[in-house]
Structure 1
Amino acid sequence: MGNVVVVQVGDPRRARLEREGWSVTARSFGAQLDADGMDLDRMTALVSRAGAGVAFRSIGPDDVDDVLALDRLTADDYPGSVATRHEQMDRRAATPTAERCAAGAFLEDGSLVAVTYVELDGAVAETDFTVVHPSHRGRGIGTALKAWSVVALRREGVRRFRTGGSAENAAILRANAALGYERDEEWVTLTAPDRAGAAT
């Protein structure tokens, strides 16, 4: 089984493992937004709140170097544990495809300050990750970028949007709530007891 297990909150294995001394060391969630219930006026307002100096557009091959630089800069900024771990991208993973699209937030000088990557499966889109440059957090840019991406994908025929992350990530929880995502999955990460430490 290993030293770490991720299970849904109601999984019977959780109670058994906790009786055996395992402890909850992280919590994560999943959430959904359906196109039919989307508030487009609210989405538009969220995009506008980012300010006139921020522009949103799809990520293309020419942006990959900037994406990789931002990915390296923020590699240690993802809270949580194994369930929400972000693997740093290589050039192949950072290059958008028909099944893996991306959008970015750019300043007037062309600097990339936020990016979101989404996995597509027919009419279903699932956010892989969204990250904002440390110097530009707290301005609503990440929320605005997710809103822009959702609206753009809706225009292309996507009907269901999935997202998730660490339950300790207050920024992503606020962003998802603002967009109208509804949490429908709760997970816990359980870590085995330190038998060696307990014996000393």
Structure 2
Amino acid sequence: MGEAIVLPADDPQREQLERASWHVSARSFGAQLDVDRIESEGLGRLVTRADGAIRELRADDVDAVLTLDAATSGDYPGGVATRHDPLTPHSAAPSESRRAFGAFLADGELVAMTFVDVHGATAETDFTVVHPEWRRRGVATAVKAASILALSSEGVTRFRTGGSADNEAILRANATLGYVRDEEWITLTRESA
């Protein structure tokens, strides 16, 4: 496995590194949604139209969270900048500063979830994932919409998210929710000798 460096896409070091045999192996992004741009009615429709029951996750959902996390562990594109470390029983448990929202089927199966770290008036999405059989149905957008609605009603005014620039599904979901891309990152890699 080679070395990796993550830099802003416009970093002056990029040209020098590429001349030294480093190459772009992945692209990632950051995006922001401020509370004054939130369209609550539209977000509410996304939640109610989604397949499954959308709700905030609780401590007693940890087993379902761990099951979905294990089923999707290989589904994070983008390399080192967007990797997802497998959840543990501790990291799968929501808390006051680590909130989570999910989509459940009638039989209780969790098919989508988003985890959000809250720091004062800012919330940053840690990850959002959907079971492979439930993709392209709007559930990722719905769980993220539910998190925005709930947290903005509690005083969060700035929402941050990011991920692989190759993940078209999450790019579409974020655009639907109103996020504006404001950061572009690259991962440069070089093979080990």
The two structures share one fold, judged by TM-score above 0.5: yes
Show the counterpart of 1:56.
Answer: 54
1:151 to 145, 149, 152: 149
The CA deviation at 1:45 is 2.1
Write out the 4+ residue segments of structure 1 that deviate beyond 6 Å after TM superposition. Answer: none
1:90 to 78, 88, 91: 88
Show the counterpart of 1:31.
Answer: 31
Further displaced range: 39-48 or 153-162: 39-48
Partners of 2:105 and 2:154 in 1: CA distance: 25
Partners of 1:91 and 1:20 in 2: CA distance: 43
Show the counterpart of 1:121.
Answer: 119
The gaps in structure 1 that reach 5 residues or longer are none
3-state DSSP class of the match of 2:96?
A: coil
The CA deviation at 1:48 is 2.6
Number of aligned pairs? 192
Partners of 2:39 and 2:184 in 1: CA distance: 25
Partners of 1:50 and 1:185 in 2: CA distance: 29
The gaps in structure 2 that reach 5 residues or longer are none
Show the counterpart of 1:19.
Answer: 19
Partners of 1:8 and 1:112 in 2: CA distance: 35
Deviations 1:78-103 (A, max 9, x none): 11110000000000000111111111
1:164 to 139, 149, 162: 162
Structure 1 letter corresponding to 2:28 = S
The CA deviation at 1:175 is 0.2
Structure 2 letter corresponding to 1:173 = L
Partners of 1:195 and 1:60 in 2: CA distance: 44
TM-score by length of 1: 0.93
3-state DSSP class of the match of 2:95?
A: coil
The CA deviation at 1:63 is 0.4
Contact 2:76 2:84 in 1 (8 A): yes
Show the counterpart of 2:129.
Answer: 131
Query: Between Structure 1 and Structure 2, whose CA radius of gyration is higher?
Result: 1
Structure 1 letter corresponding to 2:48 = S
3-state DSSP class of the match of 1:42?
A: helix
Partners of 1:185 and 1:195 in 2: CA distance: 29
Show the counterpart of 2:73.
Answer: 75
Partners of 1:136 and 1:10 in 2: CA distance: 36
Structure 2 letter corresponding to 1:184 = D
Structure 2 letter corresponding to 1:11 = D
Work out whether 1:3 is the aligned partner of 2:15. Answer: no
Partners of 1:145 and 1:181 in 2: CA distance: 15
Structure 1 letter corresponding to 2:121 = A
Structure 2 letter corresponding to 1:12 = P
The CA deviation at 1:195 is 6.8
TM-score by length of 2: 0.96
Show the counterpart of 2:104.
Answer: 106
Partners of 2:113 and 2:192 in 1: CA distance: 42
Structure 1 letter corresponding to 2:68 = L
The CA deviation at 1:70 is 0.5
Partners of 1:66 and 1:195 in 2: CA distance: 39
Contact 2:3 2:192 in 1 (8 A): no
